[in-house]
Amino acid sequence: MKRRDFLKSMTALAAGGAVSAPAVFSPARAQGRQETLLIVSESGPNNLDIHGIGTNVPGYEVSWNCYDRLISHEMKTLPNGTQYYDRDKFKLELADDMNIGDMSVTFKLKKNATFQDGKPVTAKDVKWSLDRAVTVGGFPTFQMGAGSLTKPEQFVVLDDNTIRVDFLTKDRLTIPDLAVIVPCVVNSELVKSKVTDKDPWGLEYTKLNTAGSGAYRVTTWNAGSEVILERFDNWKGGPLPKMRRIIWRMVPSAGNRRALLERGDADISYDLPNKDFVELRDAGKLNIVSTPYSNGIQYIGMNVKTPPFDNLKVRQAIAYAIPYQKIMDAALFGLAKPLYGAPADAKTEPVWPEAHKYNTDLAKAKQLLAEAGYPEGFETTLSFDLGFAGVNEPICVLTQESLAQIGIKTTINKIPGATWRTELNKKVMPLYTNVFSGWLDYPEYFFIWCYHGKNSIFNTMSYQSPEMDKLIDGAGAAASVGDKATYDKDVDGFVDLAFADIPRIPLYQPYVNVAMQKNISGYQYWFHRRLDYRALAKG
Amino acid sequence: MGSMLLKRVLAAIPSLIGVVIVTFLLTRALPGDPAAYFAGPAATKEAIEQIRATLGLDQPLIIQFFHYVVDLAHGDLGKSLTTGQPVAEEIRARLPASAELTLLGLIVSMAIAIPLGIMAATKPGSIIDHTCRIVTTAGVSLPVFFTGLILVYVFYYLLGWAPAPLGRLDVFYSAPPTVTGFYLIDSLIARDPETFVAALKQLILPALTLGIFSLAPIARMTRASMLSVLSSDFVRTARASGLAPYTVIVTYAFRNAMLPVITTLGMVFSFLLGANVLVEKVFAWPGIGSFAVEALIASDFAPVQGFVLTMAILYVALNLLIDVLYGLIDPRVRLEA
């Protein structure tokens, strides 16, 4: 058959199809569809720049795909075949060379890398971007500080192509912190032309426009309904991505997101209720990938500053009264990694998250409660964030029911998402469930925020213990000089202490669940848990 | 007529000022703290205070109100924190989406409800009257999101007749150049029948959902109004004079029964415009209702204020329009009355 005839007959076929089934795409659109990825999710970005004020998590996804960093992470393959970022192996993105010295690290930039408007990426752009990250305030500055990157003076331009980052102290989190989303490189010439007196960093411009050297750029953004991204064909940060266009639509109804996937109209969705994921997985029509949050746990926290939870025996009683297995089955449909009921003789490992040895044992809980001086129990409130009611509500109801059996009467307090953080900040809720996860996957990173006596906002229990502080600081110091033996000893020490004092009761490690069509490949799990479009492919 | 209109518009100003003050105070009384919300999950106390200052929320309420009124006088409704866009622009982009859907829903509803009401009134107690009763009761008692989900499930998921519930257009179409903001009209202006058909396809299910929901008041009002007109003297005279039943019912009776129906239509329209939030959620419709609800959840003040203000202005305009329509239908009704 001749090519022309073939095309003609195909067109005729397609036209015929269009009459009988109106959903069929015309040939041009079908071609577009092959190179286009349709993502559906519940909510979209409120800002395209992670340096902006109050950028939400979907906004991080845009930043990740539209901007480059100096370095990024290599991938490794998990036993189940999932591509998972390798915490310890760095990959050069905008940098061509990374030279780590004693108190500084020097990067040479890729010579041919350009921004999406064609201007070359220079060391001046990198410095301006890093200066911006450490000075704009809010989340980006906070995240930079987590890696001891706090002052513009730390970023030194050596020549057009070379930049040095000086260390304030020896901190093993400094290099990993340069590979998170925040230290992205912005087109400084372009953004500087848009600054005003009130807005010296041009945040208003980058809120609505992407100005990076990354693999994609946003061409259309209708807040709350869709984001359309086009590939930047001259991208130098890695191999050219397969997908030419990404259409990201916000579909608020979870039922419809599922229907779109099952009908084959949407390619990927990643925020469906656990029940739907389990059903979709069992139906087998789609690829479902479940990966535990790195360095993240869902827990029940107790305020140790106020009675009755200032009493260790009461906290232990609660830890023995949580219906762990019921929570796993009824609230999560098994889609989580349990963090309870480790065997009594299990040795503590220098890793986190790790399972504790408490199990549901109501007789023991009752006895501990009596020893603590509350044989009749007491009354308290159990709070949760309504923003994640799908999981939080069943957890709280099951816990309430179980606590009632040892005489503790709880009133469930549902707090709307907008006020949840305000309430957490006050640190007055006696009993609550919450999730914490850190981008940087190191045990001491988790503990410094959640258990250290400097009482950061994530130490929601107001837990204070000089012994704990010593172990956490000790592990940090040991890590920075590479003293593995001391590090392991200190990590074991603080994990043991956290379980013995039990101010927060880990329940499980949540899963990131992604559902996609069978013809989609290249999904990668990242510490930020959002999608990386650059590796995704179709067909 | 012109000066009468002006008088009516002026009379609406005090109520609009009231709306501005009340919405300002109400949004401030919401329990949420926008600064804490937008500072993100990893914010320190200082970061939250920093954001509070940037948003101007650290200033006394009266100063904030003053700034708000000054901005308002310049036509600036403020900025939405959740979407990052100016509220005025958001409303301009989203109001046509909601209005197009609501209008079509209303047309669907009228097309079913008015004939049904007339037929029920001409033969009270008959099968058709009972059908009318059952349809309206069912329509009003099914929650919109339920009707919407059922329609999606049957016509999209099971049968595959309807397009994916992905908002105003399938993802592979681009919107017609904006003239009115109504895709159906804009695509016709752009002479793009393909986009017209695509937009219409997306509209059918949500419009049907809204139509089913708003059937009841219109059908019931038509029936009641027709019943009273049909029992009046002039209809009896018309019948006695041997006019055809069609002429009697449509030309004489229905025209006289229209006044209360128009009032109901106006109320149903403004009610639907605000209340179709759930339909918008189900069909991922980028409308004004879902925008306002999302803002409310995030204690994002500016869009909520802007939404309430827009709605208030719409109500005023709509009431005025209905009063003018009254005068056209029944010359005895004067605008002053």
Tell if the CB–CB gap between A142 and B43 is shorter than 8 Å.
Answer: yes
Chain A interface disruption, residue of B101, B161, B172, most A CBs within 10 A: B172
Return the minimum-mean-pLDDT range out of A108-112, A284-288, A407-411, B286-290.
B286-290
Give rounded-to-5 percent helix, strand, coil for chain B.
Answer: 75, 0, 25
Is pLDDT of B4 > 80?
Answer: no
Does the pLDDT at position A14 exceed 90? no
C-alpha distances in Å from residue A37, one per residue of A73, A258, A309, A450, A477: 24, 16, 50, 38, 46
- Measured between CA atoms, the residue of chain A closest to residue B82 is A46
Give bridge partners of residue A68 from the DSSP assignment: A185
Asked if the model's pLDDT at residue A25 lies above 50, the reply is no
Which pair of tokens denotes residue A39?
A: 């993502």
Domains and their CATH numbers in chain A: 35-267+517-538 (3.40.190.10), 296-511 (3.10.105.10)
Q: Which of residues 423-462 of A touch B (CB under 8 A)?
A: 425, 456-457
Going by pLDDT thresholds of 50, 70 and 90, the confidence category of residue A143 is confident
**Domains within chain B, CATH numbers bracketed:** 94-291+311-336 (1.10.3720.10)
**Predicted pLDDT of residue B126:** 86
Predicted local confidence at residue B91, as pLDDT: 87
Q: Å from A40 to nearest chain B CA? A: 9
Which of A84-98, B172-186, B219-233 has the least mean pLDDT? B172-186
Cβ contacts of A63 on chain B, cutoff 8 Å: none
Q: Identify which has the larger pLDDT, A273 or B38.
A: A273
Contact B45 A53 (CB under 8 A): no
Helices vs strands, H then E, count in chain A: 18, 21
Mean pLDDT to the nearest integer, B306-322: 83
Question: Does A145 score more than 60 pLDDT?
Answer: yes
Neighbouring CB atoms inside 10 A of B189's CB total 13
Give me the percent of chain A exceeding a pLDDT of 70: 94
In this predicted structure, what is the pLDDT of residue B39? 67
Q: Is the pLDDT of residue A13 over 50?
A: no
Supply φ then ψ for residue A290, to 5 degrees: -115, 125
pLDDT at A295 over 60: yes
User: Taking a contact as any Cβ pair under 8 Å apart, which residues of chain B between 192 and 211 contact chain A?
Assistant: 201
The reported pLDDT for the residue numbered A91 is: 93
pLDDT surpasses 80 at A122: yes
B167 with A225: Cβ contact below 8 A: yes
CA gap B81, B88 in Å, rounded: 13
pLDDT for res A419: 73
Model confidence pLDDT, tens digit, residues A150-191: 999 999 999 999 999 999 988 888 999 999 999 999 999 999
Greatest pairwise CA separation for chain B in angstroms: 86
Residue A30 has pLDDT above 80, yes or no: no
Residues A493-505 have a mean pLDDT of 92
| Alpha helix stretches (DSSP H) within B231-332 | 233-240, 245-246, 255-275, 277-282, 288-297, 301-329
pLDDT of residue B274: 66
In A401-430, the residues whose Cβ lies within 8 Å of chain B are: 416-419, 421-422, 425
The terminus-to-terminus CA distance of chain B in angstroms comes to: 13
What residues in A contact B54, CB-CB < 8 Å?
53
Mean pLDDT of the region A48-76: 90
Kindly report which listed range (A33-37, A131-135, A525-529, B177-181) carries the lowest average pLDDT score.
B177-181
Residue A477 pLDDT level (bands cut at 50, 70, 90): confident
Ranges A299-308, A493-502, B117-126, B202-211: which has the least confidence: B117-126
Residues A290-313 have a mean pLDDT of 90
pLDDT higher than 50, residue B337: no
Which contiguous run of DSSP H or E holds residue A398? helix A389-404
How confident is the model over B29-37, as a mean pLDDT? 71
Name the band, by pLDDT with cuts 50, 70 and 90, for residue B31.
Answer: low
Calculate what percentage of chain B has a pLDDT beyond 90: 3
Instruction: Quote the radius of gyration of chain A (alpha carbons, Å).
Output: 26
Where residue A319 falls among pLDDT bands split at 50, 70, 90?
very high
- Window B:246-275, CB contacts with A under 8 Å: none
Instruction: Provide mean pLDDT across the span B307-324.
Output: 83
Instruction: Report, as an integer, the average pLDDT of B212-227.
Output: 88
Over chain A, what is the mean pLDDT?
A: 87
Average pLDDT over residues A138-161: 89
Mutation target among B166, B277, B280 for the A interface, most CBs of A within 10 A: B166
3 state SS of B141: helix
Q: How much of chain B exceeds pLDDT 70, in percent?
A: 93
The residue ranking higher by pLDDT, B90 or A241, is A241
A365-383 average pLDDT score: 90
Q: Coil, strand, or helix at residue A301? A: strand
Among chain B residues, CA nearest to A206: B84
Nearest residue in chain A measured CA to CA from B151:
A256
pTM summary value: 0.82
| 8 Å CB contact between A453 and A464 | yes
Reply yes or no on whether the pLDDT at A16 is more than 50: no
- When pLDDT is cut at 50, 70 and 90, the band that residue B334 belongs to is low
Residue A50 burial by CB count (10 A; 0-12/13-18/19+): exposed, middle or buried?
buried
How confident is the model at residue B262, as a pLDDT? Answer: 85
pLDDT band at A402 (very low <50, low <70, confident <90, very high): very high
Poorest-pLDDT segment among A154-168, B92-106, B305-319 = B305-319
> How many angstroms separate the CA atoms of A525 and A439, rounded?
12
Tell me the average pLDDT across A337-365.
Answer: 89
Residue in B closest to A252 by C-alpha: B281
To test the contact with chain B by mutation, choose from A53, A136, A452 the residue with the greatest count of B C-beta atoms within 10 A, namely A53
Residues 6+ apart with CB under 8 A from B19: B308, B309, B312
Lowest mean pLDDT among A12-26, B90-104, B213-227: A12-26
pLDDT band at A17 (very low <50, low <70, confident <90, very high): very low
Task: From B105, B206, B197, B106, select the one nearest B165 (Cα to Cα).
Answer: B206
Looking at residue A12, what is its pLDDT?
45
pLDDT recorded at residue A411: 92
B43-47 average pLDDT score: 68
Mean pLDDT for A526-531 is 91
